[in-house]
């Protein structure tokens, strides 16, 4: 279940706007649970957005001719089917 906005630390409430890069946790395929880069195509609020996920094509179980993989919407969180801000070193 996605975290409630009031439960998130302030650092996670950075503006979520179209064009931002996030990490999406794959929810299907042989690499389920691994993260892939994604671009926000529409932000619904601070927690939910439409994403264009950049998969590792064949290795992630997708058609190599695809231009990427579109996720209709995903919520911020941890685990398959969610997105997070990229971790910094």
Q: Which domain holds residue 27?
A: 13-84
Does residue 5 form part of some domain? no
- Looking at the 3D structure of the chain, how many domains does it have? 1
Non-local (6+) Cβ contacts of 61 within 8 A are 28, 29, 30, 31
Does residue 44 form part of some domain? yes
Residue with token string 């919407």: 73
Does residue 24 form part of some domain? yes
Check whether 63 has a pLDDT greater than 90: no
Residue with token string 């910094």: 88
Rounded CA-CA distance 20/41 in Å is 8
Judge if pTM exceeds 0.85: no
Check whether 11 has a pLDDT greater than 60: no
């Amino acid at each position: 279940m996605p975290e409630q906005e009031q439960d998130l630390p302030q650092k996670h409430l950075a503006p979520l706007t179209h064009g931002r890069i996030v990490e999406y946790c794959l929810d299907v395929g042989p690499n389920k649970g691994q993260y892939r880069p994604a671009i926000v195509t529409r932000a619904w609020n601070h927690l939910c957005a439409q994403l264009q996920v950049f998969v590792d094509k064949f290795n992630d179980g997708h058609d190599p001719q695809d231009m990427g993989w579109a996720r209709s919407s995903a919520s911020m969180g941890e685990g398959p089917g969610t997105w997070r801000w990229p971790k910094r070193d």
